[in-house]
Structure 1
């Protein structure tokens, strides 16, 4: 196997006592440079304040550290969005620059960074929601013919998690999209998949349905629901507002498409354009922002570089590839339903590009480590400290519920 695609390796979390944003960004566009310089100053000011508050209560130090982190998120968004222009276009980075220039002082830069943590990075990150076990409808019999399985998947018009898995597996040939591993549940149940595995010699492991844009943000949000559903709608609005600002209005429309008669989900979050098929370990790595699929620089259709945050997380995977080209398995078999070609869309490249941007920004800024630490703190903390030491934890817990995008 060729050398892994890796993010720049860090020796632990970036220090809070010194600035880390590159002084020279990878662009030479005056409006972007002016905006980026504002963020450079905001990070420097936050680092200085952090150095001066070491004798203060933990809540004060945490709040100041949060400002350092927020400024770095904004700063690293500039090169990440700039380098993904081949997939996302110029709109995201120019809109980011406009937001920075419009900010009134450091405080609004820090608020902007927190907005991007809450409503962009966390919209492509899932660690606190338990992975759903794969399931098949109990009434579905074992099938010996692959064509029958494909037809069964297409006839299932529901948009819940189970149906999304059925259709995604049909689209992806009952394999993990990266390792070519055959789905174990399908293998045990269907003779057709046993034959498929025999033909390819692939490993057999559990293959799971992995959402690119966090499914929990949009799932089961009804217009008449009371709080906390109301707060979840605000969070969804903030996330979708950023996508719209970045020029992805058509993606937002698909994510929010209402399916008549659908009782499982009020949105199109289960549309196959938002879904990957991955073995369990890769699913967890993708959800926790330790794995990305970056559209190639030459924009080859549906082709992605597989990028790991840490080389250790790539050890032991059978059939791991550094670059993948996604295809519609059912379509390549020339299988058609009565109404025409199969409607099994491949993952949306711009959603994967934004996920990859979030992976790079979270990794380089230190936000990934902070969010991982936050998850552990939430699991370990049952009662908030009376001295205010848990204030930052409480803020991070509540901020996605109360923040909105202008």
Structure 2
């Protein structure tokens, strides 16, 4: 049996196949895949331009051994925050602070239309899990980009399906962390709340068992993930 392709290009190809060569949100057929003969266009379908979207950005792998520049510091901070607040499993899965960070694992990759991808990266679009329905999410848009739903035909709800069952879908845990960061980023009138978070970021050592300190984690992650690296 051949070994799985773990390169970025290989994972992108696998993600496209898993997602049926279509955007996971809009359902638009990836134009490049269609022109390459990898998929066909059914009646009523339209094309678009999709690309590989990382839930945890691939820039977190920008760590040069022995370097201590801004990129290394920002990347290391994200890993440290995740580990500090009990997400050692994510650090292990994604290759904690390593030059061989496994950020291209399929659980961290989505096939998205370029416009949807941009808004996801800007934390203006996120996926809210629907209780009791596996891999089914409400697509949430920040108020500032609410009109995008009509422009790009973004549905209110999506269900992710692996068209290649052996290839894993995006991790619900990764998407939950991204969604939490987005919600914190778009809190209305949050100045006083953020003052408390800043203070707790300095003082808190572990998360509270009752979940009351979750905002500290989510804001810290948003602050770091949204910063240029």
- Normalised by the length of structure 1, the TM-score is 0.43
Alignment of 1:153-172 (within 5 A): 157-160=5-8, 162-172=9-19
CA contact (8 A) 2:30 2:50 kept: yes
1:205 to 37, 48, 51: 48
Q: 1:242 to 1:366 in 2, by over 3 A?
A: farther
Residue 280 of structure 1 and its aligned partner are, at CA, apart by 0.8
Q: Deviations over 1:232-254 (max 9, x none)?
A: 33322321222223332211101
CA contact (8 A) 2:79 2:97 kept: no
Alignment of 1:329-368 (within 5 A): 329-331=163-165, 342=166, 344-364=167-187
Q: Deviations over 1:194-247 (max 9, x none)?
A: 2xx22x63211111111111211224x243x4342xx43332232122222333
Alignment of 1:3-402 (within 5 A): 157-160=5-8, 162-190=9-37, 192-194=38-40, 197-198=41-42, 201-219=44-62, 221-223=63-65, 225-228=66-69, 231-256=70-95, 266-296=100-130, 298-310=131-143, 311-318=146-153, 320-331=154-165, 342=166, 344-364=167-187
1:78 alignment counterpart: none
Residue 365 of structure 1 and its aligned partner are, at CA, apart by 5.0
Runs of at least 4 residues of structure 1 off by over 4 A?
none
CA contact (8 A) 2:53 2:117 kept: yes
In structure 2, C-alpha distance between the alignment counterparts of 1:218 and 1:366, rounded to whole Å: 34
CA contact (8 A) 1:159 1:271 kept: no
Residue 300 of structure 1 and its aligned partner are, at CA, apart by 2.1
**Higher normalized helix content (fraction of residues):** 1
CA contact (8 A) 2:31 2:49 kept: yes
Aligned length: 189
For structure 1, which runs of at least 5 residues remain unmatched after alignment? Answer: 1-153, 260-264, 332-341, 368-398, 401-406
1:382 alignment counterpart: none
Instruction: Kindly name which structure, 1 or 2, has the bigger radius of gyration based on alpha carbons.
Output: 1
Residue 315 of structure 1 and its aligned partner are, at CA, apart by 2.2
CA contact (8 A) 2:30 2:49 kept: yes
- Normalised by the length of structure 2, the TM-score is 0.74
CA contact (8 A) 1:240 1:252 kept: yes
CA contact (8 A) 1:275 1:347 kept: yes
Q: 1:365 to 1:236 in 2, by over 3 A?
A: farther
CA contact (8 A) 1:171 1:330 kept: yes
The two structures, once aligned, show a CA RMSD in angstroms of 2.5
